[in-house]
Amino acid sequence: MLYPKKINAKKGKKVIQIGIAISIIIALILWGIQKIFTPQSHWAWITIACMIYAWIITLYSIKTCQNIAGHVFLQMLAVSALLVYIDYITGFAKWSLNIAIPIIIMTANSIMLILTIVARNRYIQYVIYQIFICIVSFLPVVFITEHLVKDEIFSYLALGVSIVNLIVFVILCHQSLIEGIKRKLHM
């Protein structure tokens, strides 16, 4: 057999429910171990946050298996939130704002740029996510203006990549952009 058998929806739902229940039990056990043995540390909360992240991505991937741009956008948001949380729990040295989020933004924009070039004729499916990614990509500007970052180089790089991505997107897909906005906003 080349491909695995597809399980039916009831069994799939049951497997997900069991997996979530097991994850909750593991989270409670980890929290209890941390409270008893290392109450000053926050390692259990970091692990629990990673488990929540994994379930968000898993459930989203199971429910939608068509739009890669949606996955890119969700990953960008989820990984950024997870890293800010880990940074906060470990003393908020702001490495997540200085380095991690700008790199995630550059990566998401690079992926969308590749999608724009490779799949231009199907890009109408990605338009709204491209717009969302462009909006979120201006977060480094907020970090700079609010003096939340010490080293601004990554923030400026992320902003530059976002602007280049937006320009290429508008040049190559301006008609898809207009059609996609009309379709999504029911105009």
Higher pLDDT, 5 or 94: 94
Per-residue pLDDT band at 3 (split at 50, 70, 90): very low
Query: Model confidence over 20-61: pLDDT tens digits?
Result: 999 999 999 999 999 999 998 888 999 999 999 988 888 887
The predicted structure's pLDDT at residue 1:
45
- How large is the angle between the packed helices 43-63 and 68-89, nearest 10 degrees? 170
pTM of the model: 0.77
Give the three-class secondary structure for 172: helix
pLDDT digits (tens, 9 = 90+) for 96-111: 999 999 999 999 998 8
d(CA 132, CA 27): 32
Q: How big is the CA angle at 26 (ends 21 and 29), to the nearest 5 degrees?
A: 130
pLDDT at 148 over 80: yes
Supply the pLDDT for residue 78: 93
Distance in angstroms (rounded) separating the CA atoms of residues 100 and 180: 31
Residue closest to 99 by CA, chosen among 160, 47, 43, 158? 158
Per-residue pLDDT tens for 109-120? 988 888 777 766
Q: What is the pLDDT of residues 65-107, one digit of tens each?
A: 567 888 889 999 999 999 999 999 999 999 999 999 999 999 9
